[in-house]
Amino acid sequence: MKTNDIIFQTVTKIVVFIIIIYSLHLFFSGHYTPGGGFIGGLMTASALVLLLLAFDIKTVVNTLQVDYLKLTATGLLIAVLTGIGSFFFNVPFLTHTFSYVQLPLLGKTSLATAVLFDLGVYLVVIGVTMTIIQTIGETE
């Protein structure tokens, strides 16, 4: 018998966006409130896992053509490069800096280089989680 999970798939299509937006909110709020790269990355990965549950692996892989191993490596590279950046300013490794910038729409915002490091963490967490889940899912 062919199962029909139209309700699940329709709800997923809406909910996935809410989860991803919430995960981005968590990611950006990490500096002042609970949140950050790790939990944000896990939340994004959980949205992708929900897609994997509602649709099969082939559909998801065809829609989001991301090589998650490369994504992990990119994340690591970003994190290390934020550290190496300090070489050029003659300060110790991983020294971070911040400044307040007047942005359109957002107003006065503090931009810290620690966010770039966190972006690396975020990508690594997504990459590792999805690699684990997809590899186990594809193994016969």
Binding residues for another protein (CB under 8 A): 69-70, 72-73, 76-77, 80, 83-84, 86-87, 90-96
The residue among 46 and 131 lying less far from another protein, judged by its C-beta, is 131
Cβ of residue 86: shortest distance to another protein, in angstroms? 7
The residue among 16 and 76 lying less far from another protein, judged by its C-beta, is 76
The residue among 17 and 87 lying less far from another protein, judged by its C-beta, is 87
Residue 117: strand, helix, or coil: helix
The residue among 22 and 38 lying less far from another protein, judged by its C-beta, is 38
The backbone torsions φ and ψ at residue 96, rounded to the nearest 5 degrees and listed phi first, read -110, 160
Strand partners, 99: 111
Q: What is the DSSP string of 31-93?
A: GTSS--HHHHHHHHHHHHHHHHHHS-HHHHHHHS---HHHHHHHHHHHHHHHHHHGGGGTS-T
Cβ of residue 79: shortest distance to another protein, in angstroms? 9
Q: Is the dihedral of CA 129, 133, 138, 140 positive or negative?
A: positive
Cβ of residue 54: shortest distance to another protein, in angstroms? 30
